[in-house]
């Protein structure tokens, strides 16, 4: 399989199994998936359906047991651990349910973390950080620690951290799962804006149908298979 320029994700015959004691649990068996660049996809499904495993495989933080995985023009199933780490740093932004900010670092320092892996100078890093925090409307919270911010603000810092190195693909795992409705809508609006205005490809795992409404498409996973694909009206 050759990576296609207009495709962000290409999964072909991907399989993934977990071994627990003497039992082998098959998560995916010959799974196929194509996501075009610039798409915003919600992935829904019951617990254990393989949503998080799918994100792990797309982000190169877990390995498949077979098949081919091309993301952002790279066959990541062929990369070594070190190559995967470098690839993640420049191509993928992660957004987690529980924000996963470093409690000892300020908002600006948290956002700066991925930039420590780049050759950018200190001043350039600061400019990138300010821009990223500006995009999520937190330019006035540079020096605040996570404990001094609300859940919604922390998630916005996490989004700023995810986009600061300008990755092509954002992987979001229940990004609003820990937030109230109003705050969740704020976060989802930011993600929608990143997709529409900055052309970021987004794959978002969620249990919340209202969150899924912000995506262009929703894919339903059940027992490791996409059982239906609901094409939504592109709201662009």
Partner 1 sequence: MNDFVLILKNLFHKKLRAVLMIVSILVAFAIFGALASFEWAFNSREDSAQADRLIVVNKISMSQQLPVSYFNGVAAIDGVGQATHANWFGGYYQDPKNFLVVFAVEPDSYLKLYDSDFVYGPGAREAFVRERAGALVGERMMAKWGWKVGDLIPLSSNIYSKKDGSHAWDVKIVGTFAGRTPQNDSNVMLIQYGYFDETRSFQKNLIGWIALRTASPGITDKVAKAIDATFANSPDETTTDTEKAFTQAFAAQFGNIALMVGLVVGAAFVTILTIVGNTMAMTIRERTREIGVLKTLGFSGARILRMVLAESVLLALIGGMPGLALAALAIFAVRDDLIQFVPTLTMPPVVVAAALALMLALGLLTGLFPALGAMRLKIAAALGRS
Instruction: Output 139 or 142, the one with its CB closest to partner 1.
Output: 142
Place of tokens 């109003």: 182
Q: Count residues near partner 1 (CB under 8 A).
A: 31
Name which position in 2, 103, 123, 231 contacts partner 1 (CB under 8 A).
103
User: Which one of the spans 7-15, 36-44, 98-106, 181-189 is the region binding partner 1 (CB under 8 A)?
Assistant: 98-106
Instruction: Output 145 or 226, the one with its CB closest to partner 1.
Output: 145
Regarding 104 and contact with partner 1 (CB under 8 A), the answer is yes
Give the H or E element holding residue 133. helix 122-135
Distances (CA, A) of 125 to 9, 79, 128, 130, 218: 29, 28, 5, 9, 36
User: Which one of the spans 96-104, 133-141, 146-154, 210-218 is the region binding partner 1 (CB under 8 A)?
Assistant: 96-104
Q: In 3D, which of 139, 222, 146, 169 has the Cα closest to residue 35?
A: 169
CA distance 73 to 35: 12
Name which position in 35, 72, 76, 94 contacts partner 1 (CB under 8 A).
94
What is the C-alpha R_g of the chain?
18
Min dist. Cβ of residue 130 to partner 1 (A): 14
Name which position in 3, 29, 109, 207 contacts partner 1 (CB under 8 A).
109
Instruction: Output 100 or 131, the one with its CB closest to partner 1.
Output: 100
* Binding track, positions 138-177, relative to partner 1; x by CB under 8 A: -----------------------x-----------x----
Q: Contact, 10 vs 34, CB < 8 A?
A: yes
What contacts 201, CB < 8 A, 6 or more positions away? 8, 9, 35, 36, 37, 38, 39, 40, 168, 169, 170, 195
Distances (CA, A) of 162 to 47, 114, 171: 25, 8, 9
Name which position in 102, 210, 227, 230 contacts partner 1 (CB under 8 A).
102
Instruction: Output 125 or 216, the one with its CB closest to partner 1.
Output: 125
Q: Is 75 helix (H, G, I), strand (E, B) or coil?
A: strand
Q: Report the interface residues with partner 1, using CB under 8 A.
A: 18, 52-53, 55-56, 59, 61-62, 81-82, 85-90, 94, 96, 100, 102-105, 109, 112-114, 116-117, 161, 173
């Amino acid at each position: 399989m050759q990576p296609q320029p207009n495709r962000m994700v290409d999964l072909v015959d991907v399989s993934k199994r977990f071994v627990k004691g003497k039992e082998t649990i098959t998560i995916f068996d010959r799974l196929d998936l194509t996501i075009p660049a610039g798409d915003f996809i919600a992935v829904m499904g019951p617990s254990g359906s393989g949503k998080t495993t799918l994100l792990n495989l797309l982000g190169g933080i877990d390995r498949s047991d077979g098949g081919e995985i091309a993301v952002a023009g790279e066959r990541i199933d062929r990369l070594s651990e070190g190559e995967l780490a470098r690839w993640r740093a420049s191509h993928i932004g992660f957004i987690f349910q529980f924000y996963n900010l470093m409690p000892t670092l300020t908002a600006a320092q948290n956002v700066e973390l991925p930039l420590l892996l780049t050759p950018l100078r200190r001043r350039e890093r600061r400019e990138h950080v300010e821009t990223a925090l500006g995009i999520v409307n937190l330019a006035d919270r540079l020096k605040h620690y996570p404990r001094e911010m609300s859940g919604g603000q922390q998630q916005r810092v996490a989004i700023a951290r995810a986009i600061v190195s300008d990755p092509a693909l954002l992987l979001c795992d229940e990004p609003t799962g820990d937030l109230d409705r109003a705050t969740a809508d704020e976060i989802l609006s930011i993600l929608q804006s990143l997709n529409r205005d900055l052309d970021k490809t987004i794959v978002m795992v969620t249990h919340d149908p209202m969150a899924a409404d912000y995506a262009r498409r929703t894919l339903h996973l059940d027992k490791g298979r996409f059982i239906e694909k609901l094409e939504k009206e592109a709201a662009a």
